[in-house]
Structure 1
Amino acid sequence: MRRAPDGRRPPLACDGRYPLRVALLTYKGNPFCGGQGVYVRHLSRELARLGHTVEVIAAQPYPVLDLDEGVTLTRLPSLDLYRQPDPFRTPRREELRDWIDALEVATMWTGGFPEPLTFSLRARRHLAARARALDTFDVVHDNQTLGYGLLGLDRRIAPLVTTVHHPITVDRRLELDAAQGWKRRTSVRRWYGFTQMQKRVARHLPSVLTVSGSSRQEIIDDLGVREDRIHVVPVGADTRLFSPDPAVPEVPGRIVTTSSADVPLKGLVFLVEALAKVRTEHPQAHLVVVGKRPEKGPVAAAVERYGLGGAVEFVKGVSDAELVDLVRSAQVACVPSLYEGFSLPAAEAMAAGTALVATTGGAIPEVAGADGETCLAVPPGDADALAVAVRRLLGDDALRRRLAVAGRERVLRRFTWEQAALGTVQRYREAIAASPSTRQRRPAGASPRIPE
């Protein structure tokens, strides 16, 4: 049990046991692109609300955190080689601080993606220095870095838990399938070279959390992690933020989706094609994409080919309140992904009370539920099926209302951040009990070092 500086015992956490001090590592915390920043923000907040002390240790782009809840941020800067507006930049010589910086630049220059490796090395060095100064954590929680720096950390520094949302090998496979020409395929293979490291590291991790049964099976198949080391702890929506509001007017024909346009896995090109079909019967139909507008590529080409320049809008960097109102204003929310390890956009749309059309790719059915009950479900990569489902919802007010109510009820029952935090803390305590670093710090004959 960790005591306060004045020697007093800390107040109990919400589970009636003593609180934990958690280091939450994230090599990329952008809250507006991908799910990692969303995960770190909401999980850290809910852990703090349960009474635990959470320190997020992050590289650029730094996460947006709820600091007023007691979460703290420690910046562990990289060279930020992919920052806008100058991605793939060459840093000035005086920016290079050590050999890890040199490795980061060299990997980028040769077409690879260095951040998972270099962040893990910096994080290990940082945590080791803290441990030498007796500034220790009860548990270290890695958010899908899977870098070599994590190896042996649970034996030497602190108990380790790692979240794998889904194996990036899935992204690699889909990008290779979509790549045209040998040059592009070679480039994709080099960029995803870090997945070989992640495979090797994952097999040695003592405790892996993932967000769905689908992701669990992918981790077993793709990464070779033992089944007994993987635990499913679903994430969820912020149901206080994403909630229905009758004061927000519904915009006729509005379809909303969250997508990285240049990532084949997200399936946006199929939704654009579906929109062209829908507009033959519903000319007011239009699509709002939460994401960056592509200047070129399959999505940009599809928008131009179907003459949808005025019917597809891209928005990025919106505030939480703006995002929620955008989802509330839509008649249809859509998740067209070919694969998802969980699908936060699906859970958030359902929580906001917006009728959902979703594919059956990956874990999406685990979140969205059964076709016709809580959503309309379609096969991934099928623009015709997407068009049929969207047309059906746009033309049936009663169906939209029924799915909206049932969808929110499903999220409230199964997918909230408080439930995710409670499940995560349970796994923390199990990892602490089993960790070699815990046993090494425990006096002979002492009881297990598990906060009571």
Structure 2
Amino acid sequence: MAQDPTGAPRTADSSTRAVRPAAPTSATVVPLNPPTGETAPQRALHICLLGYRSAPFGGGQGIYLKYLSKALVDAGHRVDVISGQPYPHLDPRVRLIPMPGLNLFETGLGSLRFHHLSSLTNIIEWTSKLSGGFAEPYCFGRRVVKYLKRFGRHYDIIHDNQSLSYGMLELQRLGFPLVTTIHHPVTSDLRIALKAAKNWRERLFIKRWHYFLKMQKRVAGELHHVVTVSERSREDIAAAFDLQPAAIHLVHCGIDTEEFRPLPEVSKIPRRLMATVSADQPLKGVRYLFEALAELLPKYPDLELLLVGKPHAGGEADQLIDKLGLRGYIRTVSGISTEELVRYYNEAEVAVVPSVYEGFGLPAGEAMSCGTALVSTTGGALPEVVGDAALQVPVRDSQALGAAIDRLLSDGDLRCQLEQAGRRRIESLFCWHRSAAQMLDYYQTVIHPPHSTGDALENC
């Protein structure tokens, strides 16, 4: 049998087995680089973060897990991450507990093997994909409940990263101290995708794939402890899931300012634009960036766009590149290291975030933290993140996007001002040490609610 990181066997039903780790010590810890105003040191916690798919190249959820877990360890706490495939990239001090599933979006329907049929969860995942559905969050919840009921009673806090699965309600019912992050309501993704659909067949497929939203809406309404990453997301989540905004706790995302930083030894590449987007997701607005690029080329024939995120061959974004004659002006990279990403940010004269909607906007924060001048839309929470440290334009407006890029390319003094202002804003408002300290304070209110008696773990 395959072995999980603890050395225990993994069964054929894809549930991870593990030897129960030792309970956390009660030692007092002093956080590393504590933010100004942090409360007195508290007992070290043993924290379990959950993510149904968590690779950084898969989107902001994987980045969130990577850096939140690192910041929590920096603050002196023990952190395990239970994740489905594709697995996250974690700090070496963070323990990964892989929760294997079928990973059908990577391996395809043909990857099903006879031994998978011994698991009802596997069968649900496969048949859902076969019919155009997305059952990964639901199936991840089933697997996690099975694992934590057996091996998870020693955790001080369980923190789910937007699986919003029925399994989370089961953990809550069983008395596990549970916190859930909702980055933004996926109802926004559905609405934008439907608007971009070309025909009824596409709309039918999109609705089928988003059927998991029915589960998420019910689960969100019954969770006791919900946190989100921006004020805009708090408002949108409350509206989408029929919640009171005051019931949703706000802890902004952070940027690792030690990793995403200006590199004095790296020179800017003239006329280099950069965007970090999922090119085939309509809510990321890449078509408006391509249209803006096409409008700018007569004035800047040496313009180059570095696109971090490769369009699917033959997909809508790929076809648009050919339609606009941009093939020779766009360079795409994917699967790169964080070190390479930071260098690319530093090489770019201008970074662009063309999104129609962002629950937070990590690429905007990363570019600003690297000291790169930024053009951003006003989609979702982006104004909350960039403030006055970037040029902002309306969503779905390629002409306005092109005009803002043109302004920065032609005004070196303005670029320099925004480079410095962006770095200062991220350092002061959105560093991960600050975010982790706020999250730890929230954990304490969950573990020791007001008027409670005794340690919450003793009641589990």
Q: Contact 2:26/2:44 (CA < 8 Å) preserved in 1?
A: no
2:58 counterpart SS class: coil
Report what 1:79 is aligned to: 102
2:53 counterpart SS class: coil
The match for 2:427 among 380, 402, 412 is 412
User: Which letter does structure 1 place at the counterpart of 2:130?
Assistant: W
| In 1: Cα distance, 2:91 partner to 2:52 partner | 18
The match for 2:396 among 377, 381, 385 is 381
> Is 1:228 aligned with 2:249?
no
Report what 2:187 is aligned to: 169
Report what 2:127 is aligned to: 106
Report what 1:395 is aligned to: 410
| In 2: Cα distance, 1:226 partner to 1:112 partner | 30
Q: After TM superposition, list the pairs within 5 Å mapping 1:284-323 onto structure 2.
A: 284-323=302-341
219-228 or 163-172: bigger deviation: 219-228
The match for 1:12 among 29, 36, 39 is 29
Report what 1:426 is aligned to: 441
1:434 counterpart SS class: coil
The match for 1:24 among 49, 57, 60 is 49
Q: Contact 1:13/1:52 (CA < 8 Å) preserved in 2?
A: no
> Is 1:56 aligned with 2:56?
no
1:302 deviation in Å? 2.0
Report what 2:234 is aligned to: 216
1:242 counterpart SS class: coil
1:190 deviation in Å? 0.2
Report what 2:63 is aligned to: 38
User: Which letter does structure 1 place at the counterpart of 2:401?
Assistant: L
1:7 deviation in Å? 10
Q: Unmatched 5+ residue regions in structure 1?
A: 440-445
Change (3 A) 1:358 1:128: same
Q: After TM superposition, list the pairs within 5 Å mapping 1:92-131 onto structure 2.
A: 92-131=113-152
251-260 or 88-97: bigger deviation: 88-97
Report what 1:256 is aligned to: 274
Report what 2:159 is aligned to: 141
| In 1: Cα distance, 2:323 partner to 2:23 partner | 69
Q: Contact 2:24/2:44 (CA < 8 Å) preserved in 1?
A: no
User: Which letter does structure 2 place at the counterpart of 1:19?
Assistant: A
| In 2: Cα distance, 1:434 partner to 1:89 partner | 49
| In 2: Cα distance, 1:117 partner to 1:6 partner | 29
User: Which letter does structure 1 place at the counterpart of 2:285?
Assistant: G
Report what 2:356 is aligned to: 338
Q: Contact 1:36/1:143 (CA < 8 Å) preserved in 2?
A: yes
Q: Contact 2:169/2:223 (CA < 8 Å) preserved in 1?
A: yes
User: Which letter does structure 1 place at the counterpart of 2:188?
Assistant: V
1:94 deviation in Å? 1.9
Report what 2:18 is aligned to: none
| In 2: Cα distance, 1:448 partner to 1:58 partner | 27
Change (3 A) 1:175 1:5: closer
1:6 deviation in Å? 10
Deviations 1:298-353 (A, max 9, x none): 32222111211010111001111111000100000000000000000000100100
Q: Contact 1:270/1:383 (CA < 8 Å) preserved in 2?
A: yes
> Is 1:66 aligned with 2:91?
yes
User: Which letter does structure 2 place at the counterpart of 1:302?
Assistant: L
1:20 deviation in Å? 1.1
1:204 deviation in Å? 0.5
Equivalenced residues, count: 430
TM (norm. structure 2) is 0.90
| In 2: Cα distance, 1:214 partner to 1:431 partner | 24
Report what 2:343 is aligned to: 325
Report what 2:218 is aligned to: 200
Deviations 1:254-288 (A, max 9, x none): 00001111100000010011001111111111111
| In 1: Cα distance, 2:109 partner to 2:189 partner | 21
Deviations 1:109-161 (A, max 9, x none): 11100100000111011111115xxx421110000000011114224141100
Give the root-mean-square deviation of aligned CA atoms. Answer: 1.9
242-251 or 188-197: bigger deviation: 242-251
| In 2: Cα distance, 1:222 partner to 1:233 partner | 19
| In 2: Cα distance, 1:110 partner to 1:369 partner | 43
TM (norm. structure 1) is 0.92
The match for 2:369 among 347, 351, 365 is 351
| In 2: Cα distance, 1:113 partner to 1:155 partner | 25
Deviations 1:211-266 (A, max 9, x none): 10000001000012233320110012111111112211111110000111110000
Deviations 1:64-118 (A, max 9, x none): 1001xx21010110111111xx434340122333111111111111110010000
| In 2: Cα distance, 1:161 partner to 1:418 partner | 19
| In 2: Cα distance, 1:376 partner to 1:136 partner | 48
Deviations 1:328-379 (A, max 9, x none): 0000000000000000000010010000000000000000112xxx111000
205-214 or 145-154: bigger deviation: 145-154
